C-alpha cells in the first residue's frame, strides 16, 4: 500500500507518518510505503500510484482542491482524506468525493478510526477484508473465503477459508460490506456463501467445498436460484 502525505507543514507530515506507522505496528500489518510531499506540484509530479492520500487544502502554489481534482482523474480508486484548519473549503473538496475530513490539530483517536476505515475501504476495493481474531488483525483474500456463518448461540461468527477458519465478534453486516457482491450471496440471516465454492444445493441447503453447508431461508430460495444461475453464466 502507498500512503501519500501532502502538507506544507513538515511537523504535520511527520505526525501523520508516525500515526500511520503506529497503527500498522499495533495491528501487526505489513508496513505501507509512506511518501511525504510539501507542495501540490511535488505530489502531482510523482509517478507512484497512491492508495490513501492525506491532503492539506491550504498550500502555497497549487492548492489542495486542484490537487484532489487531478488525483481522482488519474487515480479514481485513490482514497483521499482532507486535513485542514479551514472547514469552509469542504464544500469544494466534496466535489471530488473525499473519503474523510480531519481538522487540525490532528487528534490521534479520530485519526486512527479514519485510517482503519480507509484501510477497510482499500481492501474492499482490492478484494481483501480485514478480520480481527483473538487479538490479531488478519487481511484475508476474499477469493479464498468459502463461507461466513454466524453462531446463533453466541455473539460471534466464523469465516471459513480454503485453508483455515477465523472466529470474530465483527457483525455479519460489517463482513458483508467488505466482500465483493458479485460472487458472494447471503442465503440466510446467518450465512454468506462464496458462489465459486458451491457443490450442490436443494430448496433448504447449500453444500459447499470442504464439507461445509449453509441454510437457505425459504423466502430467499427463488432469489438465490436466479442469482446463482446468473452467476454461472458469467463463468462460461
Say how many CA atoms lie within 13 Å of 38 toward its Cβ.
5
Q: At what angle do helices 108-125 and 10-26 cross, to 10 degrees?
A: 70
Domains 2-125 and 144-234 share a fold: no
Which option is the CATH number for 144-234: 2.40.50.1020, 2.40.110.10, 1.10.3720.10, 1.10.1240.10? 2.40.50.1020
Q: Are 70 and 61 in contact (CB under 8 A)?
A: no
Which option is the CATH number for 2-125: 2.30.33.40, 1.10.510.10, 3.40.50.2300, 2.40.50.500? 3.40.50.2300
Collapsing DSSP to helix, strand or coil, 141 comes out as: strand
Determine the pLDDT at residue 235: 56
pTM: 0.57
Question: Domain residue spans in the chain?
Answer: 2-125, 144-234
Q: What is the pLDDT along the chain (236 residues), one digit of tens a residue?
A: 899 999 999 999 999 999 999 999 998 888 899 999 999 999 999 999 899 999 998 888 898 899 998 998 888 778 899 998 877 666 676 666 688 888 889 999 999 999 998 888 787 666 778 898 988 989 898 889 999 999 888 889 999 999 999 999 999 998 988 887 778 999 999 999 999 899 999 999 999 999 999 999 999 999 999 999 988 875 54
Amino acid at each position: 500500500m502507498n500512503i501519500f502525505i501532502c502538507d506544507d507543514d513538515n511537523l504535520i507530515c511527520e505526525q501523520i507518518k508516525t500515526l500511520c506507522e503506529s497503527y500498522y505496528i499495533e495491528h501487526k500489518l505489513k508496513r505501507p510505503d509512506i511518501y511525504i510531499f510539501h507542495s501540490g506540484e511535488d505530489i502531482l509530479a510523482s509517478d507512484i500510484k497512491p492508495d490513501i492520500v492525506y491532503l492539506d487544502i491550504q498550500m502555497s502554489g497549487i492548492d489542495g482542491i486542484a490537487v484532489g481534482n487531478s488525483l481522482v482523474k488519474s487515480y479514481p480508486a485513490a482514497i483521499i482524506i482532507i486535513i485542514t484548519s479551514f472547514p469552509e473549503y469542504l464544500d469544494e473538496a466534496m466535489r471530488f468525493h473525499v473519503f474523510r475530513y480531519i481538522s487540525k490539530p490532528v487528534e490521534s483517536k479520530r485519526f486512527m478510526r479514519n485510517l482503519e476505515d480507509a484501510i477497510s475501504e482499500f481492501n474492499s476495493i482490492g478484494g481483501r477484508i480485514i478480520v480481527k481474531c483473538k487479538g490479531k488483525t488478519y487481511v484475508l483474500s476474499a477469493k479464498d473465503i468459502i463461507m461466513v456463518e454466524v453462531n446463533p448461540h453466541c455473539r460471534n461468527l466464523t469465516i471459513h477459508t480454503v485453508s483455515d477458519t477465523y472466529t470474530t465478534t465483527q457483525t455479519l453486516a460489517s463482513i458483508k460490506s467488505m466482500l465483493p457482491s458479485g460472487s458472494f450471496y447471503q442465503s440466510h440471516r446467518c450465512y454468506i456463501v462464496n458462489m465459486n465454492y458451491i457443490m450442490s444445493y436443494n430448496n433448504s441447503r447449500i453444500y459447499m467445498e470442504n464439507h461445509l453447508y449453509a441454510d437457505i431461508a425459504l423466502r430467499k430460495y427463488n432469489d438465490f436460484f436466479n442469482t446463482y444461475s446468473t452467476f454461472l453464466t458469467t463463468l462460461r
